[in-house]
Amino acid sequence: MQQEKLVIHTLGPQGTNCELAATTWFKELNIEGKVVLHPTLEIAAQEIKDSKHDLLLGCAVYPDLHKLVFENLINFKLVDSFIMPTIDMVFASRGQDQLETYATHPAPASLVKDLSPVYANSNAAAASACASGQADACITTLSAMQSHGLTMIKNFGPVPMCFTVHSSHQFTLPKQNS
């Protein structure tokens, strides 16, 4: 009988640091698996209750990670954590001179001090909001900036970041492939 592939549910859309961390986790442990992206970690967390093959991957600086953990103590547990550099974090715009607002996930919002924030669910979503004109600029990842054709204002570089992996209480981490 073939074992089901592991599925990591994490923050989307495509191009988030969480997506990169999930694929890196599978690669580092030499485990086959699939990454499913969600608009928020709260939505992603709903997928792992009572599952033996679904995991949640979060970022330690996610503003409400503590709520996810403590509000779900009966539903899931922390099974792993690791530190990985993020994709370069950048401040970018559509190329205009006048900037009043910037789209950002709440976590890196403090990187910009003198503009009004427009909050997004992820760094990748912030790039999308900027590209569509919902904000003048954004804090995002280098890859999201490039995929949306934005112009870099400042590169903050990669940030060493802790990522957490959570599972249901029924889950047991499989043996690594050789």
What is the residue type of 135?
A
C-beta neighbour count of 26 within 10 angstroms: 18
The one-digit pLDDT tens for each residue of the chain (178 residues) are 356 789 999 999 998 999 999 999 999 999 999 999 999 999 999 888 778 889 999 999 998 899 999 999 998 999 999 999 999 999 999 999 999 999 999 999 999 999 999 999 999 999 999 999 999 999 999 999 999 999 999 999 999 999 999 998 887 777 665 5
Single pTM value for the model: 0.88
What is the residue type of 36?
V
